[in-house]
Every structure is written in C-alpha cells, then in structure tokens.
Structure 1
Amino acid sequence: MRTIPIYTAAALAEIAGCFAFWAWFRLDKSILWLVPGMVSLAAFGWLLALVPAEQAGRAYAIYGGIYFAASLVWLWAVEGVRPDRWDLIGAAVCLTGAAIILWSPRTV
C-alpha cells in the first residue's frame, strides 16, 4: 500500500520545514534556513494531496496520527532526545486512531 509511505514522507517534510523556522527563530540560525524550509513545506502540501482519500478532512485526520509518531522519531534522530514511555504510549494511541480511520470499512 502506497498510502503509508506518502503520509510518512509528508510528515517528515512538514517537520523539516517547521524545524527550519524553529532553527532560525529559536536557535539563531541564518535566515537562509527558511528557504529549504519553505520548499519542504510545499513538498508536504503536495505529498498530502497525493493520498487516495476522498475527503480532505479524513486524509488530515489519518495524517495526524502519522505526524505524531514521526515527530517523536525526529525528536530522537535529529534533536538527540530519546522519547519516554509516555511519548510512545501517546504515539501508539494516535497511530491506532489513524489506523481505525484509514482501514475502517466505509459504506457509500
């Protein structure tokens, strides 16, 4: 299924774009950080539009669960902070909710 990789790529693109702004604003990095950040945020929007969902709201709801988990991966991989058990429990709850929305049988 290509849906999960698209959501994952969208989450990483959004997190990277937002982190670029964070780095400029909070970490005193160069304003040039905003250029790849804006490109990354544009890629996020494009990727999220590729998911095969009929309604945008449902696509965004599923994406939210993926985003939570990807944010914790970013926290660990990029910021060097290991998520604690409460982070992991919260991510599991979010991913469970996203899975229910994504794979629930729908009637037309």
Structure 2
Amino acid sequence: MCRMHTLRVIALFVLAAFAEIGGAWLVWQGIREHRGAVFVGLGVVALALYGVIATFQPDPHFGRILAAYGGIFVAGSLAWGIVVDKFQPDVWDWTGAALCLLGAGIMMLAPR
C-alpha cells in the first residue's frame, strides 16, 4: 500500500474524530453544562462536518469505513478526555484503545 494512501486514510480519520468528538462535546456542554444554544448549534455543525469528512476516505465501502473509524473514535475520545477534561485513563482504557486501533488498522490497511 502506498505511503500517501496510508497518510490520507489516517489524516481523514483524525479530522473526522476531531469533528465528531468535538461536536459531541459541544452539544454536551450546551445541554449538560448549560452553556446554551450556541454550543449546541456549533456541535450540530461539527457533527455534520464529520459525516462529510468520512466521504473522502478512499475505500468505497461505507460499512468498512465506519467500522474502522469506531476504533479511531475510541482512542480519540480518550485523548480528548485527557486534554480537555483532564481525564486519567487506567490500564484497561489504554488496552482497549490499543486493541481498537489495531482493529482499525487491520480493516483499513490490510492488503486486498
């Protein structure tokens, strides 16, 4: 597999994760933390952007893209929690995230 192809897949997953996790966080802040409709609205826009970003993945199979993205989402959510919410994952969080990333890599980067 071409290095540029691999970098594109990874970059699109990172952008999608930022949009989805950030969007969900904004909605959470708007509703649960009572920060208002602007946060909710921005979150909805970010969540829509996540859907658009996923369409740029080079693999033509929606199911594979979303299944592999699930692994990225798990690891990205932990990273977001660490940076934004000062969450401290335990060994089981790290282990689970590593397994999810391994699965995502196998699905997206395996030779076919």
Normalising TM by the smaller chain, what interval? over 0.9
Q: Deviation above 4 Å: which 4+ runs of structure 1?
A: none
Where does 1:1-108 land on structure 2 (aligned, <5 Å)? 1-106=7-112
8 Å Cα contact 2:31/2:40 also seen in 1? no
Q: How far is 1:105 from its partner?
A: 2.0
Cα separation, 2, equivalents of 1:14 and 1:52:
19
Q: Alpha-carbon deviations, 1:56-86, whole Å to 9, x = none?
A: 0000011111111000000100111121111
Cα separation, 1, equivalents of 2:104 and 2:32:
31
Q: Secondary structure of 2:21's match? A: helix
When normalised by structure 1's length, the TM-score is 0.93
Identity of matched residues, %: 40
CA RMSD of aligned residues (A): 1.0
2:92 partner letter: W
Q: Secondary structure of 1:53's match? A: coil
Cα separation, 2, equivalents of 1:24 and 1:4:
30
Q: How far is 1:53 from its partner?
A: 0.9
When normalised by structure 2's length, the TM-score is 0.90
Unpaired runs of 5+ residues, structure 1, are: none
